[in-house]
Amino acid sequence: MKVLGWLLGVGAVMAATAASAADPVIYAPREKAPAQASSTFRGYTGDLPACHDGRVLGRVSGLFATRERGYWASGLEIAAIERPREIGYRSWGPEFIPRRFCAARAVTTDGRRRQAYYEIGEGFGFAGIGWDVNWCVTGLDRSRAYAPDCKMTRP
């Protein structure tokens, strides 16, 4: 009985294929997509804050302190972020989620200067709304989430 059901299914597929093959379909040549009137691409504007924007630096410092306290029971914080600079913007092309890649020197409360990398991404905010940052401070990526040496936060 199972074989009969299987054969009937195969027969139905073959009949549908034959019927569609009998109708000649002429495909029109594909036209180029019109130039976009706005600066949006797939719903993204690419309008991201700069690497030195105070909101971005505050977010990196705040997330760092929260992670150090919560996961590592450490009081280590970022005391200052020096020389923030952009190292890439939409480095993978316009069809990907807009990201701005940044590098800076982070001075932590233990007095050490460490290299910090962070990416500002559109749609990284809560529920995909707004921008947010992914960040990594070299030597302090204890879970190795951005290993090796914070490479995963760079272009």
In this structure, is residue 104 part of a structural domain? yes
In this structure, is residue 49 part of a structural domain? no
Contact between residue 41 and residue 97 where contact means Cβ atoms under 8 Å apart: no
Residue in the structure block whose two tokens are 């302190």: 65
In this structure, is residue 33 part of a structural domain? no
In this structure, is residue 62 part of a structural domain? yes
Residue in the structure block whose two tokens are 């306290």: 69
Which residue in 149, 90, 152, 148 sits closest to 121, CA to CA?
90
pLDDT for the residue 18? 54
In this structure, is residue 83 part of a structural domain? yes
pLDDT for the residue 130? 94
As beta bridge partners, residue 108 has 78
Domain span holding position 82: 54-153
In this structure, is residue 129 part of a structural domain? yes
What integer is the mean pLDDT of 73-89?
97
pLDDT for the residue 94? 84
Structural domain count, the chain: 1
The answer to whether residue 4 scores a pLDDT higher than 50 is: yes
In this structure, is residue 20 part of a structural domain? no
What integer is the mean pLDDT of 50-63?
98
The span from the CA of 149 to the CA of 112, in Å, is 17
For the chain, the average pLDDT equals 84
Contact between residue 105 and residue 121 where contact means Cβ atoms under 8 Å apart: no
pLDDT for the residue 15? 58
In this structure, is residue 136 part of a structural domain? yes
The answer to whether residue 10 scores a pLDDT higher than 50 is: yes
The answer to whether residue 53 scores a pLDDT higher than 60 is: yes
What is the side-by-side order of every strand in the sheet holding 78-89?
78-89, 99-108, 113-122, 131-137
pLDDT for the residue 32? 45
Host H or E run for residue 21: helix 2-22
